[in-house]
Structure 1
């Protein structure tokens, strides 16, 4: 083979290696970030549709979508009731022990929450807590009183929820 033939073959083989990847890439389409819950990232909209929906064009790095892998329960972890076969039941003594533990935990939590509520109500002083030194501005004091009132209401709701949970457990 002469030198010209070798150069020609070399150029053709180089072109064959470069051309397929260039042809395999899809045409670059703009990616849009559209507002909402959840936020939508898409390249399937036209420019007009994206503008009408209030979407913004993303510039820079490409977006990579990673599919999450569902973890398998490891040994020692309890299998959720939905995954257990219907005919598989928990031993009654084990269930009683679970219920007893749950009741003990909920009662301890209820006692802590009751104590915290009593402390909050004492600080609240029937809607007239002591003014702090940094509360020269009366509005700041009123804001703190409103926050205290809201916190007390949340705590009362928490206590009611614990009592509901306790009432669901067998005696």
Structure 2
């Protein structure tokens, strides 16, 4: 039987020990992270301190269970992902969603009409603080962009209403 010299065995095992060693940092707020997650420079900039020689223990938690008096009904907590909602309950939810979206749509359309009136086809009324013509142009450009965003929002609400089943 042939034996390795003890020095050679140590040299062969050193890279394995170095790879297994990870620097652990304790950051403000008692947040712990390792050198695998952030670099030493990042840890220093965040104000993290190095923890050396401290064993790290990870404990797996369990998913919380619904308790009596919990806001989640027991039936909903135990319902599987493939179970169905009662059709009458679903129709009521859809009707509520439609009512809310239509109210939102009406509000947004009124706001758009007001914005368009203020914009006055690209020629809004000049204000007293706009003696500099560029300020006026900047405000007009902001108004135009705001109108475009509002139109996009209205289109999105209409798409959402279109996804709902007819009432």
Q: Deviations over 1:19-69 (max 9, x none)?
A: xxxxxxxxxx797xxxxxxxxx8646xxxx97xxxx5671755279xx9x8
User: The residue matched to 2:49 in structure 1 has which SS?
Assistant: coil
The correspondence for 1:120, drawn from 107, 115, 131, is 115
Q: Deviations over 1:83-129 (max 9, x none)?
A: 95244110000000000000000000000000000000000000000
What corresponds to 1:9 in structure 2?
Answer: none
Matched, 1:139 2:134: yes
The correspondence for 1:161, drawn from 153, 156, 163, is 156
Matched, 1:62 2:49: yes
TM-score (norm 2): 0.60
Q: 1:30·1:57 contact (CA, 8 Å) conserved in 2?
A: no
Q: 2:101·2:161 contact (CA, 8 Å) conserved in 1?
A: yes
* Residues 137/93 of structure 1: CA separation in 2 closer, same or farther (3 Å cut): same
The 5 A counterparts of 1:34-73 are 43=35, 55=41, 58=44, 61-62=48-49, 72=64
For the aligned residue pairs, the C-alpha RMSD in angstroms reads: 3.6
Equivalences, count? 123
- Distance (whole Å) between structure 2 residues aligned to residue 76 and residue 96 of structure 1: 22
- Distance (whole Å) between structure 1 residues aligned to residue 62 and residue 110 of structure 2: 42
Matched, 1:93 2:80: no
Deviation at 1:154, TM superposition (A): 0.4
